[in-house]
Structure 1
Amino acid sequence: MKHLLLATAVLFGAAQCAHALDNSAAVKVTPLLKTSTSWDAKPIAYPAGAAEVTALIVEIAAGGQTGWHEHQVPSFAYVMEGTLEVTRATGETKVLHVGDMLPEVVDTLHNGRALDGKAVKLLVLYTGSSEKKLTVPHPEFTPAAK
């Protein structure tokens, strides 16, 4: 009887392992971004120093803006909600929708703005070092009139 119980337990355990392996076959991978440059076509370079990765949820209110700023480290923004317009100081603009991913510019002034009267929610991953700031605001900057 002990052998029957042991065999049943082993078979049940094996069946559970097989079930777990079957579930792993259901994993779906959706590429979001593969690049070696930021959206202004400059090569992405990681700063020297101790590595530090920071993940933030950034929310911009309906009609709101980030204000002019720059990043000292490479960062990558994924649009979770809303429509985002990003403008560089040069006037170049990029519009992003839900599901889009943006390799952000580094050491380049830019401003983000929520469009269509709706809030924007972003997941932003910063790949920097503990010696660098993620974001440096530039409230004094005013873009040239078009």
Structure 2
Amino acid sequence: MKTFAIAVAVLALFASQPAVALEQSASVKVTKLLQSPSSWNGAALAYPSGQAEVTALLVEIAPGGETGWHLHPVPSFGYLLEGELEVSLKDGSVKRVLAGQALAEVVNTLHNGRNVGKGPARLVVFYAGVTGSTLTVKE
């Protein structure tokens, strides 16, 4: 129990420090795209237990196209490279994402992504799962 308390104290100390993955210099420009303890609907993020595995996907949605209702059982975030995307929840909540914006996706919550732009929507999605985990579950 004492070891756990020490670990929590150390994590709390580091949690108050800004996260820096790479120092900026004359030849390296660093731009924070997203840092959030919660998904866009305000739900807290929590990592699954097991052997960590990250997955990155490039997703392309045609104009007027939709992902269909689905959920992600693991934390994920996306970065919209091109286009305009509207993400809806069953409760009527809607999040509009424009090219160049990042989004912490909802976890274990049904949602539908729809391309509301005139051209293709291209986004990179990063999943923080565990080896062998399912990343997307259709309704």
TM-score scaled to structure 2, two decimals? Answer: 0.80
Segments of 5+ residues of structure 1 without an aligned counterpart are 1-23, 139-146
Quick one: distance in 1 between partners of 2:117 and 2:84?
A: 7
**Secondary structure in 2 aligned to 1:117?**
coil
Quick one: distance in 1 between partners of 2:63 and 2:113?
A: 12
Quick one: distance in 1 between partners of 2:93 and 2:133?
A: 26
Which residue number in structure 2 is paired with residue 61 of structure 1? 62
User: Which has the larger Rg?
Assistant: 1
CA drift at 1:62? 1.0
Deviation above 4 Å: which 4+ runs of structure 1?
A: none
Segments of 5+ residues of structure 2 without an aligned counterpart are 1-24
TM-score scaled to structure 1, two decimals? Answer: 0.76
Residues 46 and 74, structure 1, Cα contact 8 Å, conserved in 2: yes
Q: Which amino acid aligns with 2:76?
A: S
Residues 85 and 117, structure 2, Cα contact 8 Å, conserved in 1: no
Report how many aligned residue pairs link the two structures: 115
User: Does residue 1:28 correspond to 2:29, yes or no?
Assistant: yes
User: Per residue, is there more helix in 1 or in 2?
Assistant: 1
Which residue number in structure 2 is paired with residue 133 of structure 1? 134
Which residue number in structure 1 is paired with residue 114 of structure 2? 113
Question: In the TM superposition, what whole-angstrom CA distance separates every residue of 1:29-63 from its partner, at most 9, and x where no partner exists?
Answer: 11101110011111110000110100000011111
Which residue number in structure 1 is paired with residue 94 of structure 2? 93
User: Over aligned residue pairs, what C-alpha RMSD do you find?
Assistant: 0.9
**Secondary structure in 1 aligned to 2:48?**
coil
